[in-house]
């Protein structure tokens, strides 16, 4: 059948099916996030520990999804108003959830993008769960910063207030065996010819949702990039860089770098406690897990060796939700040692 032969009724059916599939994907995404107990409980605890200070305040929940954070605000504190902002069609369901939880007098849902948003007035607190893999991936942070500049009162609070990107050199034996060593003698046959193709396919991309075991860390992790949500500018997102120097704490095989992030929530009270959401291997696992960047070939390292270098996050100039992550490193820097560089495109 030629596409011009599709009837109007069939076309509507195909469009309806596409919408149904997209909505199903969205439902799965929100289920995954709501099921992430460390993530959701951290936001709940932030609201609860600041409930007295939130009384009478105006809050915006940007990219609210199901509205869970907005509902926490309405039910655990006594804000004057909560603006739940969601650009996708999920906003229609969020309105139903707000009514179902009896919060419609406090929570107002806005279906709009941050760039086009019109609110009744400025807000005291801007809360958002904008973080992605490697902290920045998909760049929802840009929308948060635009909303901050337009709608947050002077001296208002941002949650998270700051965020850090953390790196550690690591071992990844199971991943390397699965992706590379497998081709040496599968079923007693020599398939090593395919190793170069496997290297190009599997080792040139980061591995999302990697679960790093603490014992596979070759060194103490280091925070390499820190974002201050009050002072950060949209233009800063184009390129972010950080340096590291790791002292290897146990001999092993250096397979690559693992990256994760932490988000920090400052208290509204001057001497109040700050809270942290940490997505690293030493904390309770989240839906983000960690992100693994593998070298082209593993390197044996000894206790006391120094792995020094830098990481660069470069935003794609055309596909603005994507980026590249470039590592440069050197082991036991000497005049004859060579600086290695590897760039990883981050796409979905």
**Which of 3, 12, 23, 138 does the annotation list as catalytic?**
138
Closest to 54 measured CA to CA, from 122, 126, 102, 6: 126
Residue 297 CA to its chain's centroid (Å): 27
User: What Cα–Cα distance (Å) separates residue 283 from each residue in 252, 262, 277, 327?
Assistant: 23, 10, 9, 25
**Which of 86, 95, 129, 142 does the annotation list as catalytic?**
129
CA–CA distance, 144 with 160 (Å, rounded to integer) = 11
| Angle at alpha carbon of residue 261, lines to 42 and 50, rounded to 5° | 25
Map residue 98 onto helix, strand or coil: helix
Closest to 168 measured CA to CA, from 241, 228, 226, 247: 247
Active site residue 129: yes
CA–CA distance, 64 with 188 (Å, rounded to integer) = 54
Estimate the crossing angle of helix 37-49 against helix 8-35, to 10 degrees.
Answer: 70
Catalytic positions: 129, 138
């Amino acid at each position: 059948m030629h596409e011009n032969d599709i009837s109007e009724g069939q076309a509507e059916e195909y469009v309806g099916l596409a919408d149904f599939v997209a909505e199903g994907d969205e439902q799965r995404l929100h289920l995954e996030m709501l099921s992430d107990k460390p993530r959701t409980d951290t936001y709940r605890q932030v609201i609860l520990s600041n409930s007295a200070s939130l009384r009478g305040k105006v809050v915006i929940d940007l990219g609210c999804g199901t509205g869970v954070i907005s509902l926490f605000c309405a039910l655990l504190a006594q804000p004057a108003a909560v603006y739940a902002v969601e650009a996708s069609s999920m906003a229609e369901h969020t309105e139903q959830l707000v009514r179902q939880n009896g919060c419609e007098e406090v929570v107002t849902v806005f279906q709009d993008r941050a760039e086009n948003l019109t609110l009744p007035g400025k807000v005291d607190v801007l809360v958002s769960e904008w973080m992605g893999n490697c902290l920045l991936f998909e760049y929802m942070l840009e929308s948060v910063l635009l909303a901050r500049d337009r709608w947050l009162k002077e001296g208002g609070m941002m949650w998270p207030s700051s965020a850090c990107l953390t790196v550690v050199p690591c071992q990844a034996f199971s991943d390397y065996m699965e992706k590379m060593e497998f081709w040496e003698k599968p079923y007693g046959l020599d398939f090593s010819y395919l190793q170069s193709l496997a290297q190009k396919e599997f080792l040139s991309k980061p591995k999302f949702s990697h679960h790093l075991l603490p014992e596979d860390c070759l060194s103490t992790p280091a925070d390499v990039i820190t974002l201050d949500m009050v002072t950060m500018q949209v233009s800063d997102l184009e390129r972010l860089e950080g340096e590291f120097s790791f002292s290897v704490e146990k001999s092993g095989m250096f397979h690559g770098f693992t990256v994760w992030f932490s988000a920090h929530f400052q208290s509204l009270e001057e001497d109040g406690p700050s809270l942290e959401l940490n997505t690293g291997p030493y904390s309770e696992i989240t839906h983000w897990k960690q992100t693994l960047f593998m070298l082209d070939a593993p390197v044996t390292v000894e206790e006391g060796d120094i792995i020094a270098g830098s990481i660069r996050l470069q935003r794609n100039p055309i596909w603005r939700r994507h980026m590249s992550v470039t590592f440069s490193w050197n082991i036991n820097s000497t005049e004859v040692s060579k600086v290695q560089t590897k760039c990883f495109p981050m796409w979905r």
